[in-house]
Structure 1
């Protein structure tokens, strides 16, 4: 069965969340017809079921979500995807997930992590209050939504209006203190734990603490979130693509402070392993570096890279020597490791590497973020190899993670599909649409519950 089941209440939210898992290299499919669930559940890593229930009555929402979880009949991670502004019936749909998951099994502790923050889209939670660009929900237009008005800014109140599940809050100061403090907070007996978060690091902190509790006592978590937290929790729980995970090679020549922070994020979020190159070494050995990369690959690392030690390089001759070595490492590593994608940081590095690989050009597919693009090498012996490049001074702390995840998603597009699976579209759009920015629209359908299969969302 699928390792992850996502149940969402509208199609754009379904595809948006599916895109986040696809960026991790997980083969992801969205369906909107319960009859399609058994067909795809055994063929994908992540099955996203769109119930189309946002405008349903509470009773109708419960029935639709309960049926979706029951049809999937798995024991993996269940994510109840909610709107980033908590519209719809989140409390009642959460009840449906809990009831469906716990039926017939009283031995496994089942609890809920409610972390609806989507920091990249300006949705944050502070003091249990959900905010849009810093404004409480009840002071935003969603409070006047004709179909799904939100009457509370406090998440526990939104849930409690429809559900009798016990709730507790994990405040921001606890989250900022790190996983140990969060782990203590997660041990309290409430069934639903609402966690504050204002940035992506907070999401990872909560996810890391939750994974530790699972390792300790077998707790099975249900995630109630708008997408990013569920993806973070899956990563911390060690959920990986079935079969061989896509391997990505990173060649990092930039030594800026921004790059150092971005590299640290890739190590923490993706388990990246880097071999350090000494910029003062008068005769760096590319074969030694490739050998260390091969050893890391043999140990299971999925993101492998070489980086220049963060020391200021002011000698032009040294800079040229570094570029030549990095380019030679790329050539030998691509041959030895057969990566599913190649990432470079630094404009000179990108030019040196593509030249050494014999590429004639670069087929651009998408802008991952401003001045960071992804596509494929064009021409030469490695034509078609997914490639992403970013300037050394470009992007925030998660910029390199975004580029590497983009490469994983591009690799996943070639994964085997269930018989009859429609052709894959690429995700794009707003936070309640598709966040990874490929610019290719998803297939869509009309009707109150989209009564047919949708698409591969990776």
Structure 2
């Protein structure tokens, strides 16, 4: 792999320009185009960069009306579309936009749509932003000028420099993301790390790299007028890619977007987790304290031990699980994928539920899928297997919480997090409380469902270091 240090990558660029979150809030408040961001999150991990915002796992018009009525500057809708076929993802995106536009019209609120996806470039692109654009244009008769593509997630080591998207860390260096395990994804794999080339690849050449607008770090940090000009030059849903390394870079981009939108340009955002935080001018929330976690329980008496549900198969998750196993006593139960796909499914899952309920009275319980990744003959078949495994995870969680309330529930992996929240715990409406670790790993407070008052932790499979899962479990077990 072609690893480079951060210093090497940034050697030819200006230093970071400090921008306050308050300056973004003030500019947005003064803009005639100010709107609420409706964030369609293709798995729940997108909330890990924000705090104090409403989250929906259902998207009927009353749900959107409730969320918009909170007065929050952004609303998250968990579509879980990364786990779905392209056809199903398209339908859900259309349904969310229509419900959101109906709710916004009733409340006289202006909305802008955000397609939040993976910071390592996996997901239904260009399908999802194009569907959002089609629905907005049909409803408003106003053209979407640009599709803004900003996958950067500095807190998790994903940065874009010189048009190339990287994954890594300051300690270990950065590698073009196309050279990582993420690019080999069975459903959403790709070859290119240079974003303009990635757009051409993902659109099957319908959009050429030369037709993608690129905003380099040298322009973003030094020339606001030129940044705005480049944003304003987009037309007919033209893709725009932007170099981003830091939170300040995202805030600089936000100020330029506010200016461009105030002048009449309209965009759909296709972004990684921290973009929304910067765009609404929210401060970076420190990791939650013990007092904040207790307050989220709403006075509910906690059970003695917590439940950790692991569905992710990326290498980092396996290493994190190994560290947790070494750090503390656990009761570890395995959902055997082969049995889930066979005739003994129900008997196998029922036994796991009984063991987990008994175990929670004495120790932290880990329920994990077998670590051998089972894939299908093609992308759709692989998704079908993933859905069957997710359904098994849901059945186990439902069985557990029907009999006892864990001290906390951690769900490891994007698809796992979505299914555990909406189906396993029955959460329909929630609030993001804040991050468990700096800039990553989100805690929700459910407003309904079987686990109301139980801290729910959304833990992406591909973030943190090897000790992160153990750290979060330790914090929640205090």
**Normalised by the size of structure 2, how large is the TM-score?**
0.48
1:213-244 Cα offsets, whole Å, 9 max, x none, are 222x1333322111111221122xxxx8xxxx
Kindly indicate whether residue 199 of structure 2 is the aligned counterpart of residue 154 of structure 1: no
Kindly indicate whether residue 46 of structure 2 is the aligned counterpart of residue 20 of structure 1: no
Contact 2:54 2:67 in 1 (8 A): no
User: Post-superposition shift, 1:424?
Assistant: 6.6
User: Post-superposition shift, 1:137?
Assistant: 1.9
Give the distance between the partners of 2:65 and 2:464, measured in 1 at CA: 24
Structure-2 residue corresponding to 1:174? 219
Of 28-37 and 185-194, the range deviating more from structure 2: 28-37
Contact 1:9 1:52 in 2 (8 A): yes
Kindly indicate whether residue 108 of structure 2 is the aligned counterpart of residue 84 of structure 1: no
**Normalised by the size of structure 1, how large is the TM-score?**
0.50
For 1:165-314, list aligned pairs within 5 A. Answer: 167-190=212-235, 191-215=238-262, 217-235=263-281
User: Post-superposition shift, 1:83?
Assistant: 0.6
Of 122-131 and 51-60, the range deviating more from structure 2: 51-60
User: Post-superposition shift, 1:426?
Assistant: 5.0
Kindly indicate whether residue 55 of structure 2 is the aligned counterpart of residue 29 of structure 1: yes
Contact 1:55 1:147 in 2 (8 A): no
Alpha carbons of structure 1 residues 105 and 175: separation in structure 2 relative to 1, 3 Å = same
- In structure 1, runs of 5+ residues without a counterpart are 241-268, 271-342, 344-366, 379-400, 442-458
Choose from 117, 122, 134 the match for 1:99: 134
Give the distance between the partners of 2:60 and 2:163, measured in 1 at CA: 34
User: Post-superposition shift, 1:85?
Assistant: 0.7
Kindly indicate whether residue 294 of structure 2 is the aligned counterpart of residue 375 of structure 1: no
Alpha carbons of structure 1 residues 7 and 421: separation in structure 2 relative to 1, 3 Å = farther
Larger radius of gyration: 1
User: Post-superposition shift, 1:124?
Assistant: 0.7
User: Post-superposition shift, 1:170?
Assistant: 0.8
Structure-1 residue corresponding to 2:160? 125
User: Post-superposition shift, 1:120?
Assistant: 1.3
Of 225-234 and 40-49, the range deviating more from structure 2: 40-49
Kindly indicate whether residue 459 of structure 2 is the aligned counterpart of residue 429 of structure 1: yes
Give the distance between the partners of 2:92 and 2:464, measured in 1 at CA: 23
Give the distance between the partners of 2:146 and 2:276, measured in 1 at CA: 14
3-state SS of paired residue (2:151): coil
Give the distance between the partners of 2:245 and 2:225, measured in 1 at CA: 19
Structure-1 residue corresponding to 2:90? 62
**Greater share of helix:** 2
Structure-2 residue corresponding to 1:295? none
Aligned residues: 274
Structure-1 residue corresponding to 2:183? 143
3-state SS of paired residue (1:159): helix
3-state SS of paired residue (2:165): strand
1:154-175 Cα offsets, whole Å, 9 max, x none, are 2233334454566311112112
1:259-304 Cα offsets, whole Å, 9 max, x none, are xxxxxxxxxx69xxxxxxxxxxxxxxxxxxxxxxxxxxxxxxxxxx
Structure-2 residue corresponding to 1:262? none
- In structure 2, runs of 5+ residues without a counterpart are 1-34, 105-109, 169-173, 295-433
1:346-388 Cα offsets, whole Å, 9 max, x none, are xxxxxxxxxxxxxxxxxxxxx829xxx5636x9xxxxxxxxxx
